[in-house]
Amino acid sequence: MPSPEPTSLLIKARWIIPVEPAQRVFENCALAISDGVIQAVVPQREAEKRFQADTTINLGHHVLLPGLVNAHSHAAMSLLRGYADDLPLKTWLEQHIWPAESRWLSEDFVRDGTGLAMAEMVKTGTTCFADMYYFGEQVAQAAQQARMRCHVAFSVLDFATPGGSGPDDYIRKGLALRDEYRNNDLIQVGFGPHAPYTLSDEPLRKIAMLANETDTAIHIHLHETAQEVADSIAKYGMRPLERLHKLGLLTPSTQCVHMTQINDSDTQLLRDSGAHVVHCPTANLKLASGFCPVHALQSAGINVALGTGGAASNNALDMFSELRLAALLAKGVSGDATALDAHAALRMATLDGARALGLDNTIGSLEVGKSADLIAVDLSHTGAQPVHQPASQLVYTASGQHVSHAWVAGRALMLSGQLQTLNERELTGKARWWQEQMK
């Protein structure tokens, strides 16, 4: 009889949803992790014979699945949660959020707000997030310390903010940050042009050129409202997506956030360019921005990921809430009850999100050789019974509060509901301090 193989961690679970292969649920299986990488996914009886584990975790009422990928957030804006609610986007931004940022935005604000957001995200199942904000070095440092995986999209705008004096300054700082984290296993840095309506042609052309030269992703708010599209047609004689295409910004590394206003020509441009769409259903509804036609986009072969946006416009960072809403909206908007089924919704929040961020060879599914970025969700609660279909329970009855464990590259970020790399009490204390300052 051969000697058992050594492994760092063996996790036995009632169910495992690997995402790839698609539409599969493994029952009473175990996942072996060695050096931060998935070593095997096998039946529990085989695992007991095959492996000698340093640590074994038994999760008899849980589903193991890939860690969720929040493909669009403004993490530090967690400190502006509830600051200005029930307003349309233009009013919300120009009369409330931008004035608040001009007064309070700083390195300390971003560091503390990002920490608070990461605590919420880990506790609700997110292990990787794309962030678009200012002071990207603070975001990167915070994510590195928390051992979260993060795509930092450094904001670029035509006008000055506390984060920069103008387009050239934003770009200079962002490229320096990219160089600093070029070989980092957890942090990647990309361009974050805020939106077509906050950037003129010259800096957009510069971003397109630099992104192409450095093979760097572009993350941009796009077609968020009907007014944005109408204003672009009036000013430039074309829709925002067509303008970006002509300026060279639509590529397979472009992440188009929101996309609630889409016609056939937009769909064709997205399909031909290979660009990705990031759907933010709660933020779109709360700001009355419109509906992203997820089913139509996916049917056209366009990759659609899922994001929360910032807590100032959501007001939560719970990807399970986004999952449920995305699945229901896809059915309602398309008039097709089969649109975005439970497995497809889970894929959108995991592997499709990883694909949008260029990380699908590393994370997004529980496959041998991939990084061990995964979560466990407890389905023992009354509202999940009986468990006929674990995938359906995750999408239609679960919430972030049912996440019990989280790992990134095999390292525990949360065990039995307790954060391992973040100090929750300290972070909530800082949030209360900022609240007092902003009164």
Q: Phi-psi region for residue 166, left (φ > 0), alpha (ψ -120 to 50) or beta?
A: left
Q: What tens-digit pLDDT sequence spans the chain (439 residues)? A: 578 899 999 999 999 999 999 999 999 999 999 999 999 999 999 999 999 999 999 999 999 999 999 999 999 999 999 998 898 888 988 999 889 998 999 999 999 999 999 999 999 999 999 999 999 999 999 999 999 999 999 999 999 999 999 999 999 999 999 999 999 999 999 999 999 999 999 999 999 999 999 999 999 999 999 999 999 999 999 999 999 999 999 999 999 999 999 999 999 999 999 999 999 999 999 989 999 999 999 999 999 999 999 998 899 999 999 999 999 999 999 999 999 999 999 999 999 999 999 999 999 999 999 999 999 999 999 999 999 999 999 999 999 999 999 999 999 999 999 999 999 999 999 999 999 998 8
Other C-beta atoms within 10 Å of 361: how many?
12
Evaluated on CA atoms 278, 281, 285, 287, the torsion sign reads negative
Here the tokens at position 397 are 């009855």
Q: Confirm if 312 and 74 have CB atoms less than 8 A apart.
A: yes
pLDDT of residue 1: 57
pLDDT of residue 92: 87
Q: Confirm if 395 and 103 have CB atoms less than 8 A apart.
A: no
Could you write out the three-class secondary structure of 32-100? EEECCEEEEEEEHHHHHHHEEEEEEEEEEEEEEEECEEEEEECHHHHHHCCCCCCCCHHHHHHHHHHHH
Q: Enter the DSSP assignment of 161.
A: B
Question: Hey, what long-range contacts does 98-104 have (CB within 8 A, 24 or more apart)?
Answer: 100/438, 101/161, 101/162, 102/161, 102/162, 104/79, 104/434, 104/437, 104/438
CA 395, CA 287: separation in Å to the nearest integer?
A: 24
CA 431, CA 360: separation in Å to the nearest integer?
A: 34
pLDDT of residue 90: 85
Quote the radius of gyration of the chain (alpha carbons, Å): 21
pLDDT of residue 3: 82
Domains and CATH numbers, the chain: 5-66+365-419 (2.30.40.10), 68-356 (3.20.20.140)
